[in-house]
Amino acid sequence: FLAAGTTQFLRLYAVPSKIDRSSREALAQKFSRFLEVPENELLAKFSQEDDFYEVLGERIPLEKENMVKGIAGEYLRNGLQIERYDDRFYPYHELASHVIGFVGFEEGERRGAYGVERFYEDELARGADLLLTLDITLQERAQRFLSDLLAYWKSSSGSVIIMRPKD
Residue 66 has φ and ψ, to the nearest 5°, of -65, -35
Whether the model clears a pTM of 0.85, i.e. scores above it, the answer is no
- Alpha-carbon span 60 to 36, nearest angstrom: 11
Beta-bridged to residue 86, according to DSSP, are 8
Picking from 39, 9, 8, the residue whose alpha carbon sits closest to that of residue 25 is 39
Dihedral of alpha carbons 82, 85, 91, 94, sign: negative
pLDDT in tens, the chain (167 residues): 899 999 999 999 999 999 999 999 999 999 999 999 999 999 999 999 999 999 999 999 999 999 999 999 998 988 999 999 999 999 999 999 999 999 998 898 889 999 999 999 999 989 899 999 889 999 999 999 999 999 999 999 999 998 887 86
